[in-house]
A and B are shown apart, each in its own frame.
Chain A
């Protein structure tokens, strides 16, 4: 393996998903030299497994399918001359925002003026006897297998978790030819949108609230699960145990941000369960407590691709302004538009608590900054 290979760019974007792509495009529009780093063979993050139409309004690309948005963003990135380093893992974020990279052949150090960490999130799991059996996987994992790889890991599915991910992936498994036996949910309420729930119940898939999974059984892979009802204290109600034969269990119990690089860089954090766990604090322009380092997308709190895109645009604009590439008035105006679009996505009973959590993050940023004597 070759020793250090020194690279330079103006704006390094770690993670080529919706947040990273939007930040890169926005900054590049104003003449910033941008390099996206992505460990995969193709950018797009989780966009390409999203075969459903997105919500929001026209300016959010509502009605457009996730993978179509992925294609639009990649095309825009090419159009604006964004450089993309694929197959490169960012393994370190150091002082002065130097980034350690490596691919299969060499190690590189990428220096930059500004960096955006947009590394997304990873699915959670829940532990129950048999939880490690093959074919018990994240709902997002099943979604990747069917929509990106076009392979079906199982034909009889039990989904655990009724948030939007559990509901949408269950529907997409039916589209792929599997039969979802049921969706189980520990809370008394379904977590996701009524419209997502309705379109799966009318296909004959029951959503069982106040249910939990007791165990999974199988010799070399899952062959059945045992579920039961739980009471208001989450205690199993004796006598309600039921066996369900299945060959695939999808766990849809939320995600947590992938914050390793942020920890390394010494960013300040807050713990916000409603956003997925430990979140690096940031201000209204996505700037973190480390000079020159920004964050956007699921790493700043698990939401959705639409919010990731707007946060990316805000970060990209902020970087372009910091680098003096955009007239201040124009920059402020564009930022205000992006923030309005973002606010619109965090309204209503499903959004307000996220907006509040984000406000807490921003307040924490200023609290830390004051402490740090900035």
Chain B
């Protein structure tokens, strides 16, 4: 996908559409989503970058050469949603989505580099790619620590119908 292909949404507005996302080689199949947490790499352009490939200890992600190739989820089954790629991505463009969490709910693991960190168990307002409030969510897990080098991993529990939409959140006091 070249710069021109993305003209509509990304180049004019900055956020990508779900249609654009579903066309990229890194988007998991619906069958894979049904089996549990999997990485969704929202990186649509050819930029020289491959830390996601290097970070994945299960060889699930491939960029290859030239390093401007967009990342491909070559082995969906190998991906176990560990989140190592989320931490290393310089674009903060990777999310681990679990559409199989329960009948009604899904979880999203997001990179978070702001203070204060949310509290486990707290309610948050979930935002879509445009920053609009979409639904409420609950913080299930807050992972920080030296190995993450300040790219904290936050797991948010949301209604399943928004699993392809929610990509950020606001802590309730600050809304």
The judgment on whether A and B are partners is: yes
Stretch of A9-17, A74-82, A346-354, A366-374 lying at the B interface: A346-354
Q: Determine whether the beta carbon of A202 is less than 8 Å from that of B168.
A: yes
Of B6, B14, B45, which one neighbours A207 at CB under 8 angstroms? Answer: B14
Q: Which residues of A contact B89 (CB under 8 A)?
A: 53, 195
Name the residue on B nearest A351 (C-beta).
B48
Q: Determine whether the beta carbon of A201 is less than 8 Å from that of B90.
A: no
Contact with B along A171-190 (1 / 0, CB 8 A): 00011000000000000111
- Does A58 sit within 8 A of B, measured CB to CB? yes
Chain A proximity of B17: nearest CB distance (Å):
11
- Does B60 sit within 8 A of A, measured CB to CB? no
Q: Determine whether the beta carbon of B42 is less than 8 Å from that of A189.
A: no
Q: Determine whether the beta carbon of A203 is less than 8 Å from that of B168.
A: yes
Name the residue on B nearest A56 (C-beta).
B48
- Does A197 sit within 8 A of B, measured CB to CB? yes
Q: Determine whether the beta carbon of A201 is less than 8 Å from that of B12.
A: no
Q: How large is the interface on A (under 10, 10 to 19, 20 to 34, 35 or more residues)?
A: 35 or more
Q: Determine whether the beta carbon of A348 is less than 8 Å from that of B130.
A: no
A350 to B45, CA, bound (A): 9
- Does B75 sit within 8 A of A, measured CB to CB? no
Q: Determine whether the beta carbon of A193 is less than 8 Å from that of B129.
A: no
- Does A52 sit within 8 A of B, measured CB to CB? yes
Take A189-B7, A194-B45, A349-B45 as given contacts and tell me if A200 and B90 are in contact as well, using a CB distance cutoff of 8 Å.
no
A167 to B68, CA, bound (A): 21
Of A175, A194, A207, which one neighbours B44 at CB under 8 angstroms? Answer: A194
Contact with A along B142-158 (1 / 0, CB 8 A): 00000001010000000
Q: Which residues of B contact A174 (CB under 8 A)?
A: 114
Contact with B along A279-318 (1 / 0, CB 8 A): 0000000000000000000000000000000000000000
Q: Determine whether the beta carbon of B10 is less than 8 Å from that of A351.
A: no
Q: Which residues of B contact A201 (CB under 8 A)?
A: 13-15, 129-131
Name the residue on A nearest B114 (C-beta).
A175
Name the residue on B nearest A196 (C-beta).
B91
Of B3, B49, B66, which one neighbours A349 at CB under 8 angstroms? Answer: B3
Chain A proximity of B116: nearest CB distance (Å):
11
Q: Which residues of A contact B54 (CB under 8 A)?
A: 57-58, 62-63
Q: Determine whether the beta carbon of A194 is less than 8 Å from that of B14.
A: yes
Chain B proximity of A213: nearest CB distance (Å):
19
Q: Determine whether the beta carbon of B55 is less than 8 Å from that of A63.
A: yes
Q: Determine whether the beta carbon of B92 is less than 8 Å from that of A199.
A: yes
Q: Determine whether the beta carbon of A349 is less than 8 Å from that of B129.
A: no
Q: Determine whether the beta carbon of B10 is less than 8 Å from that of A62.
A: no
Q: Determine whether the beta carbon of A57 is less than 8 Å from that of B10.
A: no
- Does B171 sit within 8 A of A, measured CB to CB? no
Q: Which residues of A contact B13 (CB under 8 A)?
A: 190, 197, 201, 207, 209
- Does A169 sit within 8 A of B, measured CB to CB? no
Contact with B along A205-221 (1 / 0, CB 8 A): 11101000000000000
Q: Which residues of A contact B77 (CB under 8 A)?
A: none
A188 to B16, CA, bound (A): 16
- Does A55 sit within 8 A of B, measured CB to CB? yes
A43 to B93, CA, bound (A): 32
Chain A proximity of B161: nearest CB distance (Å):
18
- Does B78 sit within 8 A of A, measured CB to CB? no
- Does B138 sit within 8 A of A, measured CB to CB? no
Q: Determine whether the beta carbon of B149 is less than 8 Å from that of A57.
A: no
Q: Which residues of B contact A196 (CB under 8 A)?
A: 91
Name the residue on B nearest A306 (C-beta).
B48
Name the residue on A nearest B49 (C-beta).
A55
Q: Determine whether the beta carbon of A197 is less than 8 Å from that of B47.
A: no
Listed residue (B16, B91, B93) with the most chain A CB atoms within 10 angstroms of its CB:
B91
A348 to B114, CA, bound (A): 31
- Does A133 sit within 8 A of B, measured CB to CB? no
- Does A129 sit within 8 A of B, measured CB to CB? no
Q: Determine whether the beta carbon of A348 is less than 8 Å from that of B129.
A: no
- Does B67 sit within 8 A of A, measured CB to CB? yes
- Does B167 sit within 8 A of A, measured CB to CB? yes
Q: Determine whether the beta carbon of B68 is less than 8 Å from that of A348.
A: yes
Q: Determine whether the beta carbon of A351 is less than 8 Å from that of B14.
A: no
- Does B73 sit within 8 A of A, measured CB to CB? no
Q: Determine whether the beta carbon of A202 is less than 8 Å from that of B48.
A: no
- Partner-B contacts on A (CB < 8 A): 52-58, 62-63, 65, 162, 174-175, 188-190, 193-207, 209, 344-351
Closest 8 CB pairs of A and B: A195-B91, A204-B131, A197-B14, A348-B68, A348-B46, A53-B90, A63-B51, A189-B11
Known contacts A53-B88, A201-B129; 16 further A-B pairs (Cβ under 8 A): A53-B89, A53-B90, A55-B49, A55-B91, A57-B49, A62-B51, A190-B13, A197-B14, A201-B15, A209-B13, A344-B68, A347-B48, A348-B66, A348-B68, A349-B46, A350-B45
